[in-house]
Every structure is written in C-alpha cells, then in structure tokens.
Structure 1
Amino acid sequence: MSADDPTPPGARIDWSLAASVGRRVARPGPLTTTYTLDAARAELAASAAAAEAPVRAVTGLADGLPVPAAKVLERGEWIGAAAQSMSAMLGGGDPTVKPGIAGRISGVQAGGLLAFMSGAILGQYDPFTTDPDTGSDGVLMLVTPNIIAVERSLKVVPSDFRLWVCLHEVTHRVQFSANPWLRGYMLDNIAQLSEDTGESSAELVNRISSALRSGKPREKGVMGAMQLLQTPEQYDAFSRLMMLGTLLEGHADHVMDAVGPEQVPTVQTIRAAFDARRTRPQNPVQRIIRSLIGMDAKLAQYIRGKAFTDEVVATVGMTRFNAIWSGPDTMPRPEEIDEPRRWIDRVL
C-alpha cells in the first residue's frame, strides 16, 4: 500500500465478512434453560441501571446526565457490534464499495479473532458506536453467556457477580459520558497509530537495526517491541493510548472495590476468585493467543492502573484526583504510572 493511498486502514478489512465468519465459528455458550437465560438478561439490564448511581457517587462524575439502557447480548450479537465498532474506529470507508481480495482475507482473519474474543468478553463500553435508541455516542454491552459461564466457574453468587461486573463497565460509561473529549482523543491517536507511513521493508529493517546498534535504553516487553517497530510518531500515539487504557481500567477497578462493599455483599469472595482466575496458568496455545491479541497487556493495565489510582486517591482524595480528566495534558505519563507521586507533583 503506497503512502499516497487515501484508503483508511479500516476499509482494507471486510468487516461484514468478519462478522459473518465470527458468528459461524464462535463457540456456543454454556447450557442453560430459556428461563435461566431470560432471568440473567433481565437481571443484567437491571444491574447496569442500578450501578449508575453508586458509581457516580464514588467518582463524582456524570452527575445529572441521562442513564441509557445497556445492551444485553449473546456472543453472535457482540461479534456484530464489535465489527461495526472496529469499522467506525478505523475509518471503514464507503460501505457501498466492496473490499478487494485482500480485504476479504483480512475479514476472515478478523472474524476468527472476534470469535475467540466473543467467549472472553464479559462486558464492554464502546464509545465509538452510536446508540440506535438514543442517538448518543457510546453503548454499554454485557455478554450474557460469558457472565453465566464465569460465575459458574468461580462458584460465586450470580446476582452479586452480575452487579459487580456492571460496576466496572458502568464506570467506563461514566468516564466517557462525563468527559466527551476522551472519544476524540482516542480516535486521533488511533489514526496516528494506523497511518501508513510509506516506509519500505528495507527502510524498516534499517531503522530497527540502527535503533539496536545505538544502545539507547528502551522499554521492556510489548512497549519495547513497539518502540522498535513503529515510527517515533506512531510510538508516541501508542504510548498515549496505553496510558489512557491503563488509567481507564485501573480507575474502573478502583471504583469496583470502593463501591463493592456496600452494594455487593460477597465482593471479597468475588474479587479473590476473579483475581485468581486472571492469573491462573494457561496452556501454551492459550498463552500465545492471549499474548498476540494483547490480553496479557490488558491484565497489566488493570494492575498498574489500579495501583496508580489507589495511591493518588488515598493521597489527595477523589475530588482532586478528577483533575486527571481535564484534558490530554493531565493524562498520566509512562514514567508516572508506577510513581504516582510524580503525577501529583506535576498536575496538582
């Protein structure tokens, strides 16, 4: 693809085919009766609404804004919604233009990835999709069969677990509802990250070789790999997205634990069981897949982001912590996530 090609990255993927393939190959959910499934759906919808008030009270965000209903979905429905969101997020182009063979091949690959993820996602706030019922940006989705499967696996009280999950996802909705600039900030950085630089394979190899020979210090793990593979501008965008994701996930986990004791009677049991599940050993194939799609990096985001939020809130309180949502300049920097005092000194 040349640097002069105006086709946005998302248009190179046949997202309609991705959704179709994903729905066909996704594994079915756990065996349940129709009564159990309907009851779980109704309780999840009610829990999402019930979670809004305590989350707003703890965070001090989104006071007075409307509370849209959550979308309670099956795995196939989530796949369709995720494909639509990815197309919008990556600039899917003119829907009347049929993708070429490369786009269809990418669509099949994306469909397989969506099928795998459809069995792992409990809930998700999607800021890039317009809610068809309200016309507003952002949709909160809860995947019923996955929540049922995990609550059975953990042997926890279903009603408590469902509310606990909703507390996390509703926090994301509150974050974006109270701070509309976050959506544009994410889109701008995604556009920068996915921009075709026109760099040839030879130029890429030369740049990586020069970086390796320079001996300059690099980040560890995924961040270090991206630092080598991406241009400086792309790496800066990637770093900003990683820091934003770390903040959003860590803040949501902090709120779950802050709200939980009053709202979820068995929260300590759930937290212990869920954390053990997150860190349990995986078979080699699962480890490879998790690494490739970034699930392990996401787990690190939860841990680092929660530690950052816990320390800042404990030091200055939630009201002053909320200065973090002022704009891009108050987002935590990579060197501040593990040393929250540096963020406090710089921003507050």
Structure 2
Amino acid sequence: MTLRRSPISRSTASKIAGFLAPAGPKLKGEDATKAVESMRAAADAAVEHVYAITRLEAAHNLRDSEVLIVDRASWAKANVQSFSVLLAPLASSPMGKKLESMSATEYKLATSAASAELGAILAFLSGKVLGQYDPYAQDAGVSDKVGRLMIVAPNLVALEKELNLEPEDFRLWVCLHEQTHRVQFAAAPWLKDYMLDQVRALTNEMGDSQKFMEQLVSSSRKARAELKGKKLADTAPPSRVFDQGFTEEGRARISHLTAIMSLMEGHANVVMDSVDRSIVPTVKTIRQRFERRSAAQKFLTKFIYSLLGMDAKKRQYRDGQKFVQYIVDERGMDAFNRIWTSPNTLPTEDEIHDPQAWIDRVLGQPKETSSNSAEA
C-alpha cells in the first residue's frame, strides 16, 4: 500500500495521538521500576489462572506474544500502527484511485482531516484503556511475535489511587481479562484473520462507496476554499469522513462483528468474575468499586464504531457476559469451548441475546446419562 493511496497518514496520526494523549500520574525512580515489575509479574501470573478457568489447552504456559508496559502516548501510537493494517484494502479500491488523482493540496487536506480525527480519538481513549491485546502487531510490521499485550501503566496507577485498591490484586485482575483475549486468539488461530477479513471488507466497501468518496473530496475542496478566503477558523471542521452508510451486506458484517466482540469481551469478563479470594484476595472490593465507577467503554468496540461512524452499543459487553455465563451454567465450560472451533460456531448477534438458540444450533440436545437411561 502506498502512502498516496491511504486516507490516513500514519506519521501524522501518531504525532497527533502522542501530542494530545494526557500524561497521567507519574512515578519516579524506584517506584516506577517496582510498578513496571509488578505489572509484568501480574501479566505472567495471569496465564495459568486463565488456563485453569477456561480449560483451553492453548492457554497452557502461553508465551507467544510480547508483554509491554506502556504509557498513554505509546499505546495510542501503537494503535495507529495496527490501524494501518485495516486500511490496506483501500489501496486497490476506487478510493485509492480517487486519492491518487487529487491535487497535492486536496490530498494533504483530506488526509490531514482523517489523520487528525484518528489521532484525537486514540488520544482520548488512551486515558480510558487499562490494557489491550493487539493480535495485529506482526501484520503491521512492528513485532516479530504473534501479537502484543499492552498494559497502560498510568491508567492502572490512577485507578488504583482513585478507588483505593490493593495494587497487586487489581493488576492481576486486569491482566486476567487481557490474557483471556490472548488465549482466545491462541485457541482459535483462524480468528485473527477471520476478523481482519470482515473489517477489511467493510473498509473496502467504504472505498467503493461513491458517497464516501464524494464527501472526502468535498471536504478537502471546502477546506481549500476556506483557506484561500481565510475563513477556516470561523467555520466548523470538515465533516467526518467515516460517517457513511453501508449496504445490506455491510450491515450484516457489522452485526457479525458486534456479536464476535460481545463474545470476546463477555468471555473475558466471565473469567475475571470466576476468580475468588484465593487468587485475588480483595476481588470482592475491586468488583464493587469498579462497578460503581461505571467503567469506561471497552476500547475495541469504541475503536471500530468510531471508524464506522456508529453509535456505541452500551449494553454490548454486558449482553456478551450474560451469553457466556448462561452457556457455561447450562452445559459447562468444556461445551462452551466448542465456540472456538470455526466461524460457523461463533454466535450471531441474535444468539448473543438468545444463548439457548446457540446451544440448540451448535451443541444440540445433551446426551442422556446412564442413570437417566436406566430410569427410563
């Protein structure tokens, strides 16, 4: 993909994200070193706990990715890198050709608007995200590992202080969630490319959308005209280039991605809620205070929805957790783990709200036990 065919300047978005990302609380000297070591230890310890809870063999002694303890600016810049992977299809779409045909000024204005928006979004989210597993680091050419697990140190430290939590316990609790995402991709090695294909298809549809292209060109020309008339400072910024409609097929893909993300976040939340005081001594306190605070919306949904110009579905992850817990309660964790078998065993968005429908479709009726057969 050539830079000329991308609506996003990776360097510009990274600079803006890094510049706008708030620094957060700072630790000095020995305190900073101890905090980083503690978070690394928590990430490492979480692996075997996730294995014990999920019963997924892929989780056993999993060491396939980098573990990075990062600040807010580094997290934002890292996501610009991975974001570039999603935009690859635009190079061969009508969008790529349209960008290539723009004048230098129009292209600069168009990419500046889109890059600034992405950088600003990531800068804002950098103060909300506690951790993230990025499965696309290798695809972005920034790691020779399968992926990277990032723990955003200043956000953990800030929340620990705000909620008066035991740091060691809270760090392990957070790492249980993020390591579960890592395990999901390890248990379903096809999932990374499958999700990428879905997102890329949507990205490509944006590139094929005449409406999308017209708005991009119109925004750049409007900005150029305003610059000439020196009226830019008095007017609203160019319209967001991602706020576009999709075809019926595109909306179906969005629904499918919504279901997948609900599943993944719900599964990670179930794992977090499965630990007891023997693993996280103050887990009850953490849950109570964390829930009262009304934790920030998870990154992946907000990121994708910002890309697509959609409103976030606030109940998405809560519904995903209910979906997972229902199946585990009804049929057990081993039966639930069938969900990682193939794309056909993933839930639809309707099934997220009706887990029994997924059970009926994928698991079928439970086998009768020998005692039940004898009674019959």
TM-score interval w.r.t. the shorter chain? 0.7 to 0.9
Structure 2 residue aligned with 1:59, among 47, 54, 58? 54
Structure 2 residue aligned with 1:340, among 351, 355, 365? 355
Shift of 1:7: 7.8
- Stretch deviating more after TM superposition (26-35 or 42-51): 26-35
Counting only pairs closer than 5 Å after superposition, residues 108-127 of structure 1 correspond to structure 2 as 108-127=116-135
Shift of 1:269: 1.0
Question: Structure 2 CA distance, aligned partners of 1:71 and 1:316?
Answer: 36
Shift of 1:63: 4.3
Partner of 2:150: 141
- Stretch deviating more after TM superposition (311-320 or 109-118): 109-118
Shift of 1:331: 0.8
* 2:196 pairs with 1:187: yes
Distance 1:193 1:133, change over 3 A: closer
Secondary structure of the equivalent of 1:244? Answer: helix
Question: Structure 1 CA distance, aligned partners of 2:3 and 2:196?
Answer: 13
Structure 2 residue aligned with 1:18, among 13, 35, 55? 13
Structure 2 residue aligned with 1:235, among 251, 255, 258? 251
Partner of 1:72: 69
- Stretch deviating more after TM superposition (169-178 or 258-267): 258-267
TM-score normalised by structure 1 residue count: 0.80
Secondary structure of the equivalent of 1:128? Answer: coil
- Give the counterpart letter for 1:83 in structure 2: V
Structure 2 residue aligned with 1:325, among 330, 340, 350? 340
Cα shift readout 1:66-111 (whole Å, capped 9, x = no counterpart): 41441000111112211101112322869xx997431222112211
- Give the counterpart letter for 2:191 in structure 1: L
Shift of 1:27: 1.2
Secondary structure of the equivalent of 2:312? Answer: helix
Question: Structure 2 CA distance, aligned partners of 1:309 and 1:32?
Answer: 38
Partner of 1:308: 323
Shift of 1:51: 0.2
Partner of 1:85: 82
Cα shift readout 1:299-344 (whole Å, capped 9, x = no counterpart): 5222111111111001000001011111111111122112111110
Question: Structure 2 CA distance, aligned partners of 1:200 and 1:11?
Answer: 16
Shift of 1:191: 1.2
Question: Structure 1 CA distance, aligned partners of 2:277 and 2:83?
Answer: 36
Shift of 1:250: 0.2
Shift of 1:134: 7.2
Shift of 1:194: 1.4
Partner of 1:176: 185
Shift of 1:179: 1.1
Secondary structure of the equivalent of 2:272? Answer: helix
Shift of 1:11: 2.0
Cα shift readout 1:234-261 (whole Å, capped 9, x = no counterpart): 1111111110000000000000111344
Question: Does the 8 Å contact 2:59/2:186 carry over to 1?
Answer: no
What are the ranges of 5 or more consecutive residues in structure 1 without an aligned counterpart? 1-5, 205-225, 281-287
- Give the counterpart letter for 1:165 in structure 2: V
Question: Structure 1 CA distance, aligned partners of 2:3 and 2:245?
Answer: 20
Question: Structure 2 CA distance, aligned partners of 1:266 and 1:299?
Answer: 27
Structure 2 residue aligned with 1:38, among 33, 38, 42? 33
Distance 1:186 1:9, change over 3 A: farther
Q: RMSD in angstroms over aligned alpha carbons?
A: 3.2
Question: Structure 1 CA distance, aligned partners of 2:123 and 2:331?
Answer: 43
- Give the counterpart letter for 2:269 in structure 1: D
What are the ranges of 5 or more consecutive residues in structure 2 without an aligned counterpart? 93-99, 215-241, 297-301, 364-376
Distance 1:308 1:47, change over 3 A: same
Shift of 1:147: 0.6
Shift of 1:137: 2.0
Cα shift readout 1:19-49 (whole Å, capped 9, x = no counterpart): 1111112211114333322211111111000
Question: Does the 8 Å contact 2:48/2:61 carry over to 1?
Answer: no
Partner of 1:164: 173
Secondary structure of the equivalent of 2:275? Answer: helix
Cα shift readout 1:133-183 (whole Å, capped 9, x = no counterpart): 972321100000011111111111111101100000000001111211110
Question: Structure 1 CA distance, aligned partners of 2:184 and 2:3?
Answer: 28
- Give the counterpart letter for 1:323 in structure 2: R
